[in-house]
Amino acid sequence: MITDAHHLAPFIRRDWLMMGSGQQLHLAQYGNPQGIPLLYLHGGPGAGASVSELSLFNPEHYWILLLDQRGAGQSLPAGELAHNHFNGLICDIEAIRIHLGIARWCLAGGSFGATLALIYSGLFPHRVIAQVLWALFIPSKEGVEWLYAPSGAAQLYPQAFREFAVPSIGLADLFTHYQLGFNAQDEQTRHDFARRWLQWELTLAGVPTGLPKRLAPPLFALAQIELHYAQNGYFNMFSVLQRVTSQVTARTLLLQGTQDAVCPARLLATFLTKVSNHRIEIHSIVDGGHSLNSEILSLAVTLEIQAMWAWIKRQELT
């Protein structure tokens, strides 16, 4: 992994940080240790960070921190659920800042990672200089129903939804159905259920990837963690998001693809009409999708992260 990343950014070091409750968070550092510190927050929840995402950042300008959130990526224990919750993720972010001795930093992240960043920057407004976020996930009742109920994204991909869902059962029963499948005694059954869960998400994200019959541990952990958060209503994240967004003081840019089928623009618009904050700018990315697999979205994110560095430098000169 380190070798593969060399052409994207110089490798500094990696650590597994002990966070209590048996959690060991994988944190990899790249770029310029004298640069502006920037924490990258991956989506999912549970997707883990990828070295391919280093291409978003100029390694001369940023001290890049790639964090695998609880149970995700190379963090241990993989797929751990007992201590995996929203409060823990927020506490981990602040603990890492303190551990590294960083007074203020920048944030970047997409989907669930964007939600985490926005909440963190509202809870700790004096710790965040600026942030570039995209495909913000709104963890409301409407947001969950859009993803998993027959009345939502299912209308866009009816055949894929039929392969994912069980006809005529509610969301709670659907989640229980998948939980039982993930915990089945037969290994192949567990992987079949996880593959169906992930394939639905990949369809919505516009990622034409076929999944193997037996999933690698990080992919199986992703399915487990996503279901865990959905079953638990994202641990009240939406009410916290509503409460703290107005407290954000960092320069904040939200990029929203018009073709995002995971986190549709109307949900973001509805949310932001109820939360007033002049520090938050929204840029609509025409034909942009949900994931960085969308070339137009990826380009927009890369350019705005570069512009964020230039903005910070201008502030230092004034």
- Cis check: omega of the bond before 45, within 30 degrees of 0: yes
Which residue, 126, 110, 139, is CA-closest to 300?
A: 110
> Tokens 């055949």 belong to which residue?
159
Q: Is 111 among the residues known to form the active site? A: yes
Distance between CA 113 and CA 165 in Å, rounded? 26
- Nearest Cα residue to 43 out of 226, 208, 175: 226
How far apart, in Å, are the Cα atoms of 296 and each of 73, 255, 266, 299?
Answer: 26, 11, 20, 5
- Owner of token pair 């430098």: 313
Q: Report the C-alpha gap between 17 and 92 in whole angstroms.
A: 10
Q: Which of 290, 291, 294, 298 is catalytic?
A: 290
* Given 26, 42, 75, 111, the catalytic residue: 111
**What backbone phi and psi angles, to 5 degrees, belong to 284?**
-85, 130
260 included as an active-site residue: yes
The pair of structure tokens assigned to 75 is 């963090």
Helices 141-148 and 217-231, interaxial angle, to 10°?
A: 130
Contact between 277 and 243 under an 8 Å Cβ cutoff? The reply is: no
Catalytic pick among 75, 121, 228, 260: 260
Are the C-beta atoms of residues 15 and 91 closer than 8 Å to each other?
no
Q: Write the single-letter amino acid at 6.
A: H
Tell me the C-alpha distance between 251 and 314, whole Å: 13
In the residue annotation, 52 being an active-site residue is answered as no
Q: Which residues are catalytic?
A: 111, 260, 290
